[in-house]
Amino acid sequence: AKILVLNGPNLNLLGTREPEVYGYTTLADIQAMLEAQATASGHSLDFFQSNAEHLLVERIHQARTEKVDFVLINPAAFTHTSVAIRDALSGVAIPFIEVHLSNVHKREPFRHHSYFSDVAVGVICGLGAQGYSLALQAALSMLERD
């Protein structure tokens, strides 16, 4: 299967960005971990980070052309603002899991609402970098089931 992992704004700073909130793992570490996990089970994985909303929208459109089977997305701050990225995911009709490093529900009230959760297959938050790995494991087992 083809998996696409998308990361939104400021996640390129992981490792040095508010490490008490987001941990010391870098985005490159997360990418390497997920690539190893996907290839070990015979799947392919693409990884894309952008600070720009329109580039994430366009990468999602491209995913349909590439016949991506499943998306893992940490929309970062766009979680709480972006109808455009939500609509892109609904538009391409590719199932996705929403991932957050931090537990957004024990943070500021503006982080409690997500434009993605009600259209996601599932949501993982508060488990740090491990959350991506658990999301990939869930996606692969769902894809292998059908």
Positions at the binding site for substrate: 74, 80, 87, 101-102, 111
Cα 127 from Cα 134, distance rounded (Å):
9
CA 133 centroid distance within chain: 11
| Residue 129 binds ligand DQA, judged by CB under 6 A | no
Q: What is the DSSP letter of 105?
A: G
| Residue 114 binds ligand DQA, judged by CB under 6 A | no
Nearer to ligand DQA, 86 or 100 (CB): 100
To ligand DQA, the closest distance from the beta carbon of 42 in angstroms equals 28
| Residue 143 binds ligand DQA, judged by CB under 6 A | no
At CB < 8 A and 24+ separation, what contacts does 61-66 make? 61/88, 61/91, 61/92, 63/4, 63/92, 63/94, 64/92, 64/93, 64/94, 66/2, 66/4
Say if CB 45 and CB 32 are below 8 A apart. Answer: no
| Residue 82 binds ligand DQA, judged by CB under 6 A | no
State which of residues 56, 104, 124, 136 lies at the interface with ligand DQA (CB under 6 A).
104
| Residue 2 binds ligand DQA, judged by CB under 6 A | no
Q: Which among 59, 69, 48 is positioned nearest to 141, based on CA atoms?
A: 69
Nearer to ligand DQA, 64 or 113 (CB): 113
Report the catalytic residues.
Answer: 22, 100
State which of residues 77, 92, 121, 134 lies at the interface with ligand DQA (CB under 6 A).
77
Q: Which residues are at the interface with ligand DQA (CB under 6 A)?
A: 10, 74, 76-77, 79, 100-102, 104, 111
